[in-house]
A and B are shown apart, each in its own frame.
Chain A
Amino acid sequence: MIVAEQKPLDEIQRMIAPYEKVLILGCGTCMTVCGAGGEREVSLLHSALRLAQARAGSNMHQFSEYTVKRQCDPEFIALLADRVREVDAILSLGCGIGVQVAAEHFPDTPVLPGVNTSFMGAVSELGVWDERCAACGDCRLAETAGICPITRCTKGILNGPCAGTKNGKCEANKDIDCAWILIYERLARLGQLEKMRRYYPPRNFRTIPRPRRLVNLVKADMGEEHG
């Protein structure tokens, strides 16, 4: 899933400064799970902004709040038309994709990002997220025993560990496992070390001409269900 972190309050205050009526818009999917912008965070941010405004002795902004099921889906965003008509700006707590879908849908309303979208990851322990995939477009997990060298090796190298690894950790950060030692150990355990002996050519960055698009006509034809 997509993992993000809410921006500092003062940065948010600076962003919304020019606008009187602001809709704080949460997202019910990834941002809810990672705790950056679900219903709960929307309400907390709403209170924090109101409190800050009261302390400053101003009533410059009027806030409203709402959380859609998925901000990255135009079908859900479309349902907001009435609420958006009432405000001067949207403060989105969706990921960067949610912000852009909302901006595209409401061309006359400024949409501001309330979170810093960080990476795609998994939860490792309560409240801790780790990056696991960079969406490189050419998945190599079959060759690397299910451990991603693109995201988990600082250098994203493909032919084995650099000489900087020490105590199984990465040279860039003593707290982080060296991806290539993990890959080596798991391949050895699976009896597949020949996969590490193979030469892997440089990555083909053409698989990711930006922006990327994926067309899945079968699904589109079947009218994939939302919800």
Chain B
Amino acid sequence: MAKSLFEEKLNSGKFIVTAEVGPQKGVDCSDMVHHIKLLKDKVDALNVTDHQSSVMRFPSLGGCLLVKELGGEPILQVTCRDRNRLALEADLLFAYSRGICNVLCLTGDSIDVGDHKEAKPVFDLDSVQLLRLIRTLESGKDMGGNDLKGAPQFCIGASVHPAADRIEPQLIKFEKKVAAGAQFFQTQGIYELDSLRRFMQYASQFNVKILAGIILMASVRMAQYMNENVPGVIVPQSVIDELASVEKGKGLQKGIEIAVRTIKAIKEQNLCHGVHIMAVGRESVVPEIIEAAGL
């Protein structure tokens, strides 16, 4: 039996669409609720980010509960930056008890890129170890080797960076994640298809589902900012030029066009198993992207 609705969809062979919502800083969840309502029936699952870019926010666990309450299928993003193994285990037990059964396991961005630069970085585990921790919990044991009263069952995923400038070490890590039990991967942003195609030629030997990450670019400034400041992001010059070619105020429209074009090409060429759309604050246009891409 599938461990979650999302796992069932992953195994169905259909083209998967996921998107994400980012919790706000503060207790007013109205925007998040709005985005969840807008997206929940248009995607196969909704990620909720975990203090993305090391900026303190409402927790991903709380966001996932909202997704659940509103009738959506959540993917809990869990990073190792802020919690040691006890806290990670406890959060996972709680998540499962509330029907949150999909987890994306991430190491987490460095504290230095965020808004609490003086905080203690935890990183008791890394992403590979977190994947293994989940399989350990599923076996009915905690990391201390103690028996659990009731074991959770999760559909687990991880991230991979097909466009990294040094791909070999990333692939070594990817294989470790597969061996640790990752069932699906949501990739870092894909802006040109060659790197994705090359990656898929290699990755197709593994029995895992790959969802190409699509980051919506709202302006040429955003693309440049991301290149300079967001860990690992490499937006190609061709995309920057294209965004720069339109008149002021039309950047978002261009960004949507690029996202739609990329998604369509991925789907038509059957490059991978689905897409993961990251609108970083522009969630309200995601339905438009999904529709225009014919998903």
**B-binding residues in A (CB < 8 A):** 154-168, 170-173, 180-181, 184, 188, 193, 196-197, 199, 201-203, 205
> A162 near B107 (CB under 8 angstroms)?
yes
> A199 near B179 (CB under 8 angstroms)?
yes
Bound-complex Cα distance A179 to B110 (A): 14
Among A157, A160, A163, A197, contact of B231 (Cβ-Cβ < 8 Å): A163
> B107 near A201 (CB under 8 angstroms)?
no
When distances are taken between beta carbons in the complex, the residues of chain A under 8 Å from B176 are: 159-160, 197, 199
> B231 near A164 (CB under 8 angstroms)?
yes
When distances are taken between beta carbons in the complex, the residues of chain B under 8 Å from A181 are: 166, 169
Whole-angstrom distance from the CB of A92 to the nearest CB of chain B?
27
Taking A157-B126, A164-B110, A170-B110 as known contacts, 14 extra A-B pairs with beta carbons closer than 8 A to each other, sorted by chain A number, are: A157-B107, A161-B170, A161-B173, A162-B126, A163-B161, A164-B109, A166-B233, A171-B109, A171-B113, A171-B232, A196-B172, A197-B176, A202-B85, A205-B124
Bound-complex Cα distance A196 to B168 (A): 11
When distances are taken between beta carbons in the complex, the residues of chain A under 8 Å from B113 are: 171-172
Max chain B C-beta neighbours (<10 A), residue from A161, A173, A202: A202
Bound-complex Cα distance A202 to B188 (A): 25
> A165 near B232 (CB under 8 angstroms)?
yes
CB nearest to A173 among chain B residues? B112
CB nearest to B126 among chain A residues? A157
**A-binding residues in B (CB < 8 A):** 81, 85, 107-113, 121, 123-129, 132, 143, 159-161, 164-166, 168-170, 172-173, 175-176, 179-180, 188, 231-234
When distances are taken between beta carbons in the complex, the residues of chain B under 8 Å from A173 are: 112
When distances are taken between beta carbons in the complex, the residues of chain B under 8 Å from A161 are: 166, 169-170, 173
Whole-angstrom distance from the CB of B123 to the nearest CB of chain A?
4
- Of the A-B pairs whose beta carbons lie under 8 Å apart in the complex, a sample of 24, sorted by A's number, is A155-B121, A155-B126, A157-B123, A159-B126, A159-B127, A159-B176, A160-B173, A161-B173, A162-B232, A163-B160, A166-B233, A170-B110, A171-B112, A171-B231, A172-B112, A172-B113, A173-B112, A181-B169, A188-B168, A196-B172, A199-B128, A199-B180, A201-B129, A201-B132
CB nearest to B227 among chain A residues? A166
How many inter-chain residue pairs (CB < 8 Å) link A and B? 100
> A166 near B123 (CB under 8 angstroms)?
no
When distances are taken between beta carbons in the complex, the residues of chain B under 8 Å from A180 are: 169
Bound-complex Cα distance A180 to B81 (A): 18
> A193 near B172 (CB under 8 angstroms)?
yes
CB nearest to A197 among chain B residues? B172
CB nearest to A180 among chain B residues? B169
> A158 near B126 (CB under 8 angstroms)?
yes
Whole-angstrom distance from the CB of A181 to the nearest CB of chain B?
6
Max chain A C-beta neighbours (<10 A), residue from B111, B132, B232, B233: B232
Whole-angstrom distance from the CB of B13 to the nearest CB of chain A?
28
> B170 near A167 (CB under 8 angstroms)?
no
> B166 near A168 (CB under 8 angstroms)?
yes
When distances are taken between beta carbons in the complex, the residues of chain B under 8 Å from A172 are: 110-113
When distances are taken between beta carbons in the complex, the residues of chain B under 8 Å from A159 are: 126-129, 173, 176
When distances are taken between beta carbons in the complex, the residues of chain B under 8 Å from A157 are: 107, 123, 126
> A202 near B129 (CB under 8 angstroms)?
yes
> B110 near A165 (CB under 8 angstroms)?
no
CB nearest to B122 among chain A residues? A155
Bound-complex Cα distance A173 to B112 (A): 8
> A167 near B165 (CB under 8 angstroms)?
yes
Bound-complex Cα distance A163 to B175 (A): 14
Whole-angstrom distance from the CB of A179 to the nearest CB of chain B?
11
> B129 near A184 (CB under 8 angstroms)?
no
> A163 near B129 (CB under 8 angstroms)?
no
> B165 near A166 (CB under 8 angstroms)?
yes
Given A184-B168, A199-B179, A164 and B232 touching (CB < 8 A)?
Answer: yes
Whole-angstrom distance from the CB of A194 to the nearest CB of chain B?
10
> B172 near A163 (CB under 8 angstroms)?
no
Given A155-B107, A162-B107, A164-B231, A197 and B175 touching (CB < 8 A)?
Answer: yes
Max chain B C-beta neighbours (<10 A), residue from A155, A162, A173: A162
Max chain B C-beta neighbours (<10 A), residue from A159, A170, A173: A159
When distances are taken between beta carbons in the complex, the residues of chain A under 8 Å from B143 are: 202
When distances are taken between beta carbons in the complex, the residues of chain B under 8 Å from A196 are: 169, 172
Bound-complex Cα distance A180 to B109 (A): 15
When distances are taken between beta carbons in the complex, the residues of chain B under 8 Å from A164 are: 109-110, 231-232
> B126 near A163 (CB under 8 angstroms)?
no
> A184 near B166 (CB under 8 angstroms)?
yes
